[in-house]
């Protein structure tokens, strides 16, 4: 493991040996992680023992990357489905206040969940 190779104070790089060690130590066979932009939407590492999935296409309007979702079948087979940017010239970000004001507010999570029990 190389800690902070660029001197930024925030980066840790690891190799396949660390992935295998983590899996063995935790009695796991696979790690699926997210929130790192990968060009093909998903990426396998360490002989397929670690998968990175990233669903945002054309991240920040400048990466031209595909996105992906992973389908998990009943037999635990993982099937990646790629999502391609619909139009690389079309921005996915809201850049002006007027458009932002037209968006409906995000509903609070509790409104969409099961009713809470009253303990009074």
pLDDT, tens digit (0-9, with 9 covering 90-100), for 82-101: 998 876 555 555 566 776 66
Structure tokens at 2: 């190389």
Per the listing, tokens 């660390």 go with 18
What's residue 53's pLDDT? 96
Distance CA 30, CA 71 (A): 15
Give the 3-state DSSP-derived string for 55-93, with helices as H, strands as E and coil as C.
CCCCHHHCCCCCEEEEEECCCCCEEEEEECCCCCCCCCC
CA angle 32, 112, 105 (to 5 degrees): 95
pTM of the model: 0.63
pLDDT digits (tens, 9 = 90+) for 22-69: 999 999 999 999 988 999 999 999 999 999 999 999 888 888 889 999
């Amino acid at each position: 493991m190389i800690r902070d190779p660029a001197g930024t104070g925030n980066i840790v790089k690891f190799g396949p040996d660390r992935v295998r060690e983590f899996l063995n130590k935790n009695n796991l066979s696979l790690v699926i992680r997210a929130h790192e932009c990968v060009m093909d939407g998903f990426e396998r590492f360490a002989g397929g023992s670690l998968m990175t999935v990233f669903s945002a296409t054309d991240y920040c309007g400048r990466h031209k990357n595909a996105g992906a979702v992973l389908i998990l079948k009943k037999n635990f087979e993982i099937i990646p489905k790629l999502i391609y940017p619909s139009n690389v010239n079309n921005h996915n970000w809201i850049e002006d206040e007027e458009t932002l004001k037209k968006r409906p507010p995000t509903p609070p999570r509790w409104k969409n969940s099961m009713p809470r029990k009253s303990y009074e």
